[in-house]
Structure 1
Amino acid sequence: MTRPPHIYDAIILGAGGAGLMCAAVAGQRGRRVLLIDHADQPGKKILISGGGRCNFTNLHTTPSCYLSANPHFAKSALGRYQPQEFIALVNRHGIAWHEKTLGQLFCDGSAKQIVAMLLDECAKGDVTLRLSQTIRDVRHADGHFHIKTDEQIAAAPALVIATGGPSIPKMGATGFAYDLARQFGLKIVQPKPALVPLTLPAEEKLFSTLSGVSADVVARCGKTAFREACLFTHKGLSGPAILQISSYWTHGQPIAINFLPESPADWLVTFKRQKPRVSLRTALSSVFPDRLAAVLADRLALPGELANCTDRALRGVEQQLAAWPFQPNGTEGFAKAEVTAGGISTAALSSRTMEAKVVPGLYAIGEAVDVTGWLGGYNFQWAWASGYAAGEVL
């Protein structure tokens, strides 16, 4: 690094949700901020989220909706920047929104509005944005972090890692944050795909014939359960209920699917009393899509008409349908994961400021950190909250 550096108060690496929020907050506090990203446009994951409408927060956000090696870490930032604060920002920019379900808020129009809003907030703080920049070198000397790109050398007493995790690599996502954190002695909690479809082994091939069929279920893994839709795919299981439970699943664990979360006890026995001459497949078709009813009936293999089945056998069927076991053999990986679980260890960071405890001036925010939210706007709320927490102290 021989050229004289451009001097800033803070350099933020990563122009995603967390980086944009952090830059805007710090810039509007009078800090001279440089925001760098290797992508050719900011907020790429924002743009594709929520089917292009951006599920930008969740009204029911609480720390219990997040996974981390330290489940208490997120409390401080989430408590100081809540969904209402971001909603107020959205309202000030005249962006129309709606609640879809389960507290999930979406733009009425386009996710582009959220990116434009954040860029406008950055402009108010005179943030310098540099896109399509490859980071060639990062080092710390003389109280400053020195960043070398193809175009310039920049230096600042504060450096923020906001480059996310490796989920959705086709969007340019990498593990750069972890390499940089390790360079400065910060530990990493093993990253893994989260909010990701699960794959099933060959012996479950019968269920692959259901590709495209969905059903309202309760998916359970250990003590954790979610009630939402389950979608069968040619590789295994997906849909909101499965994406949620995938964050809690580890290799070798079974999951259980309750296909009948609404059905009362003895519903199949009652059905037999009312229509004794129908088959199990016909009975299941009254509550399931036909293709799913056919596959389940085939697996359950009850003889003939319900009248030929004992009440005990039918109750056994109800129990199977209420806790149908699946043994996933993996996930569809980072390519299909909406977020990354794990990341920069929270043990290395201040929960109030997101600053590294042993490297003054170094911060980590957003998905790069070992804090992972549920599906439904929770991860964006963490991006806003953690970005705000760092931006307030830069």
Structure 2
Amino acid sequence: MTGTESSPEEIAALPDGGVAVVLGTRPEIVKLAGIIRHLGPKARVVHTGQHYDSALSDVFFAELGLPAPDVRFSVGGATRAGQIASALGSLDLLFAQTKPVAVVVQGDTNATVAGALAGNARSIPVVHVEAGLRSFDRNMPEEHNRVVTDHVSDLLCAATDDNVGNLAREGLAGKSVIRTGNTVVEAVLSQLPHPARRERLLADRGLEPDRYALATIHRPENTDDPAALAAILTELNRIPCRVVLPLHPRTASAIERFGLTAHLDGLAVTDPLGPSEFLGLAAHAALLISDSGGVQEECTVLKRPLIVVRRSTERPEAMRDFAVLVAPGPLISKTAGEWLDELPELHTRLARAASPFGDGHASARIVAEIARRFA
């Protein structure tokens, strides 16, 4: 990996326009928190409003100790094209008024591609955090977002060797690509509650370590398909332990729309959890079930096994030791049951496995590179 931590003098040398950090969803807030902290007063946080529910946005800024966004738009609730178009237009006006020295985007959301295109259109260097992920599944909207973003970016911060290789195969190599590790590692380590707090979290919910599963479902491929959603909820009910399900607003709406409310009766349903509480529960779960990309990374730091309920993944690194890819259907409960039967041995093996996503210093490396290149 390249780069060391930037000095305060290097960061202070960044022009007064600062660095625009464009984000729009809960995972982006979590994964960009370290970069925002390292940039300090040079960070200009722009929230597109893709996630506009306070439980998926405001609470994360508060829990992470981040200042409120400098600028906030309201693109949430629109179609994918509508969100990108609205954010792109608003960002273009913003960058015309106050030109930042660089635009930082993360991952593969609609906010990501809008920020990258807006920066590129105004000849502002674009920094893509978590570059080079590929599912090779063109049915995923995120795959298009991440490919477009990589190809218009000026600095590609790739987390792993696999990601670097993906970029090289697309002709993106050389000085524009650096391997940094993934900011998720430091995010997990900094937000994981201390042991006494985790013990209280479990007690408050009547949970015992290794005696429950923690599930999250929110991706459109699962929530917009009534058959898939019904199959997932049915399988969660068949897992032979308590299943805690923090319910994403999109999922809750889909369950009501499709008449699937009765499928929740056997599950421990909660409101969406803040980052610290989610990690605290995940750290002591017997196993995790999720369609989230972030959870695929977090499980490698928490050393917990994960069933990924998706048809494809852009994070094959997690599949090597920590996770399995399972389509909606009987394999969900079958896999969970098999893991529960060998749980002590499985947890012991995972505890010895290293996370493939780095050493927890990705944010410092990225900010150091920004300071060197754009000051």
- TM-score normalised by length of structure 1: 0.29
Q: Bigger radius of gyration, 1 or 2?
A: 1
Which is helix-richer, 1 or 2?
Answer: 2
Give the TM-score normalised by structure 2: 0.30
